[in-house]
Chain A
Amino acid sequence: MPRPHARAWFDRLFDLFPPAISLFAALAVASILLIALNANVTDAYVALITGAFGTENATAETLVKAIPVLFVGIGICVAFRANVINIGGEGQMIAGAVAGVAVALGFGGQMAPFMVVILSLVAGFIAGALYGGLAGFLKAYFNVNEILSTIMLNQVAVQMMNFLLNGPLLDPTEAGTNHIPKTARILAEIQLPRLTIGWTEGMELFARTRLHYGLLIAVLLAVVMYVLLWHTPLGYRIRAVGFNERASRYAGIPVRRQVVLAMFLAGGCAGLAGVVQVLGLQYRLQTDGSPAGFTANAGFNGIVAALFGGLNPFGAIPASIFFGGLLVGAQNMQRDIGVPASLITAVNGIIVVFAVSSQVFVRRRRQRRLQAESPVIAKPEVVEVAPRKVEA
């Protein structure tokens, strides 16, 4: 038997395996596609990387794109850890944005700006959380497949937003015109400030870019959710349910409640993505009426980022910056060498497939390891979830 700590080190390395393998696989497939498209592979990657990180502004745009992806991704970590497959990031984002913009427009100018921002964020979180929690509730108490219900709820949210933006929430100055559906602009004092790094006036990093405080809020949320998942009884219960539902039930964990709670939290994170997009970037809610008109697919990309980040909120931070870079870089690639930016969507799909497939390998390896260490017990998963009594 090898020395214990050497083995732990090797296992830790092996845990990095899924993201690494999916990255390499995605790069390989992307290269094949580029060759098939008659593009110079090196030129394409150079255009991609300089487009994403080449200049101060490019980097800022990458981070701006990463913000909603990160918010959604953090929530996905919570949901997937409870083994709840939340595909509803899009709809929850919209719910959060609608509630947030309504509060921002309704209370703007009537109380302290700081209070309006806080209220608006809270409203966004709660609206997203309720919308996600609805799917969790239907899963827990009516056995409705959450994948399907969240996909349906996404469409309902889009239509609800289109209706509100064409009627009750429509910018009054746009009424009667052949408008793009949008709300009035929120007051300047409740817009999230631009984020700059540095102290010297006029010399800060990211001055004159669109980077905003949403990034800090997102990173803060990642810390909160990490602590919640791994250092509180609540997070322990959520993960236990995801790891082995039956064992959790025998251990006295109210499984249904954890499912609803996980979806509630996941929806809340996505709701924040929506409201922060309004308060920090667009300053109004607007859409072209299509499903991804407001979200720009962040609800889906958040899933990719969460998987890529190993379903860990901290892992989701570099993962979503990576995806923000892909999105921004792809635009540059399209301009420079004429490779359509939709290549990135296809590559995202490949990453998802490889990420979930390689996770299976890791899980199987871990089970074999546990089996080898405790030969008496045949079913390793019963060992991992400590049969600790948790009050109902």
Chain B
Amino acid sequence: MIDQILTASVFAAALRLATPYMFASIGEMFGQRSGVLNLGVDGIMLMGAFFAHYVALSTGSAVLGVGAALVVGAVMGLAMAFISVTLKAEQGISGIGVYLFGLGMSELLFQRLVGTPRSVEGFTDIYIPGLSDIQFLGIGEIFFRHNILVYVAFLLVPISAYVISRTPFGLMIRAVGQNPQAADAMGISVARVRYMTVILGSMLAGLAGASLSVALLKVFQQNLTSGLGFIAVALVYFGRWRPVGILIGALLFSFVNALQLQVSAIGLDIPAEFAVMAPYVITIIALVFASRQTEKPDALTKPFERGE
């Protein structure tokens, strides 16, 4: 039975399903490293997913769809940054507001502009020449036959790790998140850095939505993400604010998702509820351990007040 469940296609699906988690979670990481908790990720994802789908549907171009998702993400990120950085509103609650807005708005637009779920052509799988033919352990099928966004998501891990820990921009982000007073005294504009990280993170959230609606599922429907964005926020804690940690967490969730699909596909009678529940329970346990770590940015959720 095990060999029926743990097939190469399940592992391949796990990698594919990890993309939305990774985009959203790595984006969220940038915001959190600079001290802003953006809880509106799920709403931004839904907006990104809708616009990507709608643009892809009306122009026939998935690339334009992704572009639209990035623009919508940036606009919503600007709003979130204005609320949490300039207005200094409590980040947890205002994020729920942004979530509800995105949830309602994406559904409203969908009903008005599209109506019934329609599938788009979206991105097709790219077989990496040579590598995709490797038969050994199914490596070719697992790693090298995916759509472009899957490859981009995995490339994002080393890139974002490099940006955060090795570039002046990354240093600024960490300074602003750890000790905004000191960063301010050094002449870094705390507000500007936080605006940049929140907007960048929201663009990635939009991209995460697009990866669902034009690459993975290729449809849009009401509440397409069903809370995936909230898991992405928790994965940042789970991954201890590091891209590699986030990657591991994302794979944990996506692997369970892939298993579920497989188990129901081959018609096994296992109560699916516990499988669905497991990653959430694991995340809570991980949060208990993560909270003792010192990696958490000191200024997370704290608005910056100068000279007080």
* Interface residues, chain A, with chain B CB atoms under 8 Å away: 33, 37, 80, 85, 87, 138, 142-145, 147-149, 151-153, 155-156, 159-160, 162-163, 166-167, 290-291, 300, 303-304, 307, 340, 342-353, 355-357, 359-360
Task: Choose one: A138, A152, A163, A307; the contact of B273 (CB below 8 Å).
Answer: A163
Q: Mark B195-237, 1 if CB is under 8 A from A, else 0.
A: 0000000000000000000000000001000110010011001
Q: Which residue of A lies closest to B277 (CB)?
A: A159
Secondary structure class of chain A's binding surface, majority of residues: helix
B154 in the interface (beta carbon within 8 A): no
Secondary structure class of chain B's binding surface, majority of residues: helix
Return chain A residues, CB-CB under 8 Å to B107.
340, 342, 345
Return chain B residues, CB-CB under 8 Å to A359.
89-90
Task: Choose one: A33, A151, A351, A356; the contact of B230 (CB below 8 Å).
Answer: A151
Task: Choose one: A85, A166, A345, A351; the contact of B103 (CB below 8 Å).
Answer: A345
Query: In the complex the two chains form, what is the Cα distance from A156 to B273 in whole Å?
Result: 9
Return chain A residues, CB-CB under 8 Å to B102.
349
Query: In the complex the two chains form, what is the Cα distance from A347 to B287 in whole Å?
Result: 32
Q: Are B227 and A351 in contact (CB under 8 A)?
A: no
Q: How many A-B residue pairs have CB under 8 A?
A: 148
Q: Which residue of B lies closest to A143 (CB)?
A: B291
Task: Choose one: A80, A163, A300, A345; the contact of B271 (CB below 8 Å).
Answer: A163
Chain B residues 32-52 with CB under 8 Å of chain A are: 37, 39, 43
Query: In the complex the two chains form, what is the Cα distance from A343 to B281 in whole Å?
Result: 33
Q: Are A145 and B99 in contact (CB under 8 A)?
A: no
Task: Choose one: B94, B108, B222; the contact of A346 (CB below 8 Å).
Answer: B108
Give chain B nearest CB distance to A179 CB in angstroms: 15
A144-B284, A149-B287, A300-B100 known; A156+B277 contact, CB < 8 A: yes
Return chain A residues, CB-CB under 8 Å to B100.
300, 304, 345-346, 348-349, 352
Task: Choose one: A37, A149, A159, A357; the contact of B94 (CB below 8 Å).
Answer: A357
A159-B273, A346-B104 known; A87+B96 contact, CB < 8 A: yes
Q: Are A342 and B111 in contact (CB under 8 A)?
A: yes
Give chain A nearest CB distance to B109 CB in angstroms: 9
B306 in the interface (beta carbon within 8 A): no
Q: Are A352 and B96 in contact (CB under 8 A)?
A: yes
Sample (27) of A-B pairs whose CB atoms are under 8 Å apart? A33-B108, A85-B90, A142-B288, A145-B287, A147-B39, A147-B92, A148-B237, A149-B284, A153-B280, A155-B276, A155-B277, A156-B281, A160-B273, A160-B277, A162-B273, A163-B271, A300-B96, A303-B96, A340-B111, A342-B108, A342-B111, A343-B104, A349-B97, A349-B105, A353-B101, A355-B97, A356-B93
Query: In the complex the two chains form, what is the Cα distance from A220 to B101 in whole Å?
Result: 32
- Going nearest first, the 6 A-B pairs with the smallest beta carbon separation are A345-B104, A349-B101, A352-B97, A346-B104, A349-B100, A353-B97
Give chain A nearest CB distance to B283 CB in angstroms: 5
Q: Which residue of B lies closest to A340 (CB)?
A: B111
Return chain A residues, CB-CB under 8 Å to B87.
357, 360
B166 in the interface (beta carbon within 8 A): no
Give chain B nearest CB distance to A298 CB in angstroms: 13
Q: Are B105 and A346 in contact (CB under 8 A)?
A: yes
Give chain A nearest CB distance to B231 CB in angstroms: 8
Q: Are B88 and A348 in contact (CB under 8 A)?
A: no
Q: Are B89 and A356 in contact (CB under 8 A)?
A: yes
Query: In the complex the two chains form, what is the Cα distance from A351 to B97 in whole Å?
Result: 7
Q: Are A356 and B97 in contact (CB under 8 A)?
A: yes
Q: Which residue of A lies closest to B87 (CB)?
A: A357
B12 in the interface (beta carbon within 8 A): no
Query: In the complex the two chains form, what is the Cα distance from A343 to B111 in whole Å?
Result: 11
Q: Which residue of A lies closest to B230 (CB)?
A: A151
Query: In the complex the two chains form, what is the Cα distance from A151 to B222 in whole Å?
Result: 20
Q: Are A159 and B274 in contact (CB under 8 A)?
A: yes
**New A-B pairs, 18, CB < 8 Å, besides A147-B92, A152-B281:** A145-B237, A148-B283, A152-B287, A153-B284, A160-B273, A163-B271, A163-B274, A291-B226, A342-B111, A345-B104, A348-B100, A349-B96, A349-B100, A349-B102, A357-B87, A359-B89, A360-B87, A360-B89
Query: In the complex the two chains form, what is the Cα distance from A149 to B37 in whole Å?
Result: 15
Q: Are B280 and A155 in contact (CB under 8 A)?
A: yes
The interface centre, meaning the residue of A151, A351, A355, A359 with most chain B CB atoms within 10 A of its CB, is A151
The interface centre, meaning the residue of B39, B88, B100, B284 with most chain A CB atoms within 10 A of its CB, is B100
Q: Are B97 and A85 in contact (CB under 8 A)?
A: no
A163-B273, A346-B105, A357-B89 known; A148+B287 contact, CB < 8 A: yes
Q: Are B291 and A142 in contact (CB under 8 A)?
A: yes
Query: In the complex the two chains form, what is the Cα distance from A343 to B99 in whole Å?
Result: 14
Q: Mark B67-91, 1 if CB is under 8 A from A, else 0.
A: 0000000000000000100011110
